[in-house]
Chain A
Amino acid sequence: MCLAVPLKLIEINDDIGTIESGGIRRKVNLSLVKNPKLGDFIVMHAGFAITIMDQEEGEKTLALISGWLEQEEQG
């Protein structure tokens, strides 16, 4: 139920948006998020966007993992 994948917002009409993931599009209700913008990645649950992804924080998490991977490779 919680396996929400990030989906890119490609259209906004008031509280209804369109998201795209892997070529598939579907409607999403945007009533629960503040100031959604085109190009945002959203997390969707039961047809509703529940939050907008923070891409900067995502990058930090990836950097943490690649740091460990580099350490590992250097042995």
Chain B
Amino acid sequence: MMDPRLLREEKSVRVLLKEVEKSLSRIGRELKLMEVCGTHTMTSYRSGLGNFLRKIGLRLISGPGCPVCITPNGIISAAVEFVSETPNVIVATFGDMLKVPTNKGSLLKIVPDKGSSVKTIYSPEEVIDMAKKNPDKQVVFLAVGFETTIPSIGWVVEEALKKGYENVSLITCLRVVPPPLRAILSSGSVALDGFIYPGHVSVILGSLPYEFIAEEFRIPGAITGFEPVDLLLGIISVLKQIESGQPKVDIAYPRVVRREGNPVARQLMDRVFEVSDGEWRGFGIIPGSALSLREKKMDAVEKFSMDTSSSWENKNCRCGDVVKGAIEPPECPLFRKVCSPEKPMGPCMVSVEGSCLIHYKYGDVEWIA
């Protein structure tokens, strides 16, 4: 058995960077690749590889890879309003959602109504425990996420129905990754030479749902993981495809991602959710990009007649353009001036997967070769 530390060692990164450089010089022009997962953005900047690659002619730009960032204001403000105006309810959600500013305040700063509270969860499973322990309260799960997280959210729905917990319901912003990629390519707003597809979204999806990008748009791409070495293996695959003129969807992370994805998880998703049109911050409505609850009694928006229609955006906040890859964080007039992790003006500065937060923390990190 070989040493798995090879995936983390500097010498491995160095040798892969040489392959990238050789390929770039053969291609002979500057390239722009979009990575579609906030964790790839993190890997690229925290390691300093992002800045290094830029210097040698390869720009990595972030796409819509952060679920918190693309969740529209109306969804979060509905949860803020609900917990502040309804007694004896619990709003449960992932930690990053708490600090997102809305026109009604944030879940972190709001004063909940009598007997109500906002709880941070790490795993959706905790929602079931919460419902069991609080039979006198309504537990509303503000559930956001892409394909990686959606199956576990579906599990909560099935479990609550199976156990007869009628005090559980969900506000959902569940979005699927391929449709916004079509939207970006169709709009022609960003000229891209390739995609680095998300690793763990693809664990669930497999590679088939991205095939249209290679076939219709003739754009290369590779699915990869989150070590610096994985990121570079993905980049090398894309560069090879550019060199050969044969775009495809390569799996550069085969220890984790299979072509067919995870059928067990997808079947669960199909049982619990149906495809619908969904709103994305920055994009507006994208056809077929959302998953909605089939079981309407589990839908908190219907159950409590919530209003999720507010399209308010913080004036001057360019999060919507950042998630589309149309601008990079330093191009936003608020970045570092009035918008910081301590006082975020938009979700891209809140989430650990948000481009603005990642640029703020690691934008100056240099790879020392």
Which of A's residues lie within 8 Å of B, judged by CB?
Answer: 1-4, 29, 31-34, 43, 45-48, 50-51, 53-55, 57-66, 68-69, 72
The interface residues of chain B lying within 8 Å CB-to-CB of A33 are: 262, 264
Q: How far is the CA of A34 from the CA of B6 in the complex (A)?
A: 29
Q: Establish whether residues A43 and B256, one from each chain, have CB atoms under 8 Å apart when the complex forms.
A: yes
Q: Establish whether residues B152 and A2, one from each chain, have CB atoms under 8 Å apart when the complex forms.
A: no
Q: Is B352 close to A, CB under 8 A?
A: yes
Q: Establish whether residues A47 and B123, one from each chain, have CB atoms under 8 Å apart when the complex forms.
A: yes
Q: Establish whether residues A50 and B4, one from each chain, have CB atoms under 8 Å apart when the complex forms.
A: no
The interface residues of chain B lying within 8 Å CB-to-CB of A58 are: 4, 255
The interface residues of chain A lying within 8 Å CB-to-CB of B263 are: 34
B128-154 contact mask (Cβ, 8 Å, vs A): 1 or 0? 000000000000000000001101100
Contact partner, A53, options B2, B15, B123, B256, Cβ 8 Å? B256
Interface residues of A, dominant DSSP: mixed
Q: How far is the CA of A29 from the CA of B7 in the complex (A)?
A: 27
Q: Is B200 close to A, CB under 8 A?
A: yes
Q: Establish whether residues B2 and A66, one from each chain, have CB atoms under 8 Å apart when the complex forms.
A: yes
Q: How far is the CA of A47 from the CA of B257 in the complex (A)?
A: 19
Q: Are A2 and B39 also in contact (CB < 8 A) when A29-B123, A33-B262, A65-B229 are?
A: yes
Q: Establish whether residues B4 and A46, one from each chain, have CB atoms under 8 Å apart when the complex forms.
A: no
Q: How far is the CA of A54 from the CA of B255 in the complex (A)?
A: 5
Please provide the chain B residues from 26 to 60 with a CB less than 8 Å away from any CB of chain A in the complex.
37-39, 42
Query: What number of residue pairs across chains A and B have CB atoms under 8 A from each other?
Result: 115
Of chain A, the residue at the smallest CB distance from B261 is A51
The interface residues of chain A lying within 8 Å CB-to-CB of B39 are: 1-3
The interface residues of chain B lying within 8 Å CB-to-CB of A62 are: 2-4, 6-7
Q: How many residues of B contact A (CB 8 A)?
A: 47
Q: Are A3 and B226 also in contact (CB < 8 A) when A32-B264, A32-B268, A61-B255 are?
A: yes
Q: Is B301 close to A, CB under 8 A?
A: no
Contact partner, B200, options A50, A53, A57, Cβ 8 Å? A50
The interface residues of chain B lying within 8 Å CB-to-CB of A59 are: 1-2
Q: Establish whether residues A65 and B149, one from each chain, have CB atoms under 8 Å apart when the complex forms.
A: no
Q: Establish whether residues B2 and A2, one from each chain, have CB atoms under 8 Å apart when the complex forms.
A: no
The interface residues of chain B lying within 8 Å CB-to-CB of A61 are: 7, 233, 254-255
Q: Establish whether residues A43 and B200, one from each chain, have CB atoms under 8 Å apart when the complex forms.
A: yes
B98-141 contact mask (Cβ, 8 Å, vs A): 1 or 0? 00000000000000000000000011111000000000000000
